[in-house]
Amino acid sequence: MFRTTLTAFALLLSTTVAGFAACSGHSDQAMTCAEGSEYDAESGSCKVISS
């Protein structure tokens, strides 16, 4: 029983760690704005383009 529990815990832990490792290093984000607006990096939001 102890061996089965330990194996299950090890598998659970390894999949959790692998999930975090696969998603590390993603610091860039893409922003899509509606037509007629563009992304303003200073404010971090979409702003309407006035022509």
Please give the pLDDT value at position 35: 92
Please give the pLDDT value at position 8: 72
Please give the pLDDT value at position 21: 58
Please give the pLDDT value at position 48: 92
Neighbours of 39 (CB within 10 A): 13
| pLDDT of the chain, 51 residues: tens digit per residue | 888 887 776 666 666 655 555 565 656 666 689 999 998 889 888 999 987
Is residue 48 a contact partner of residue 36, using CB atoms and an 8 Å limit?
A: yes
Q: Domain segments of the chain: what residues?
A: 1-48
> What global pTM score does this model have?
0.38
- DSSP alpha helices (H): ranges in the chain? 2-22
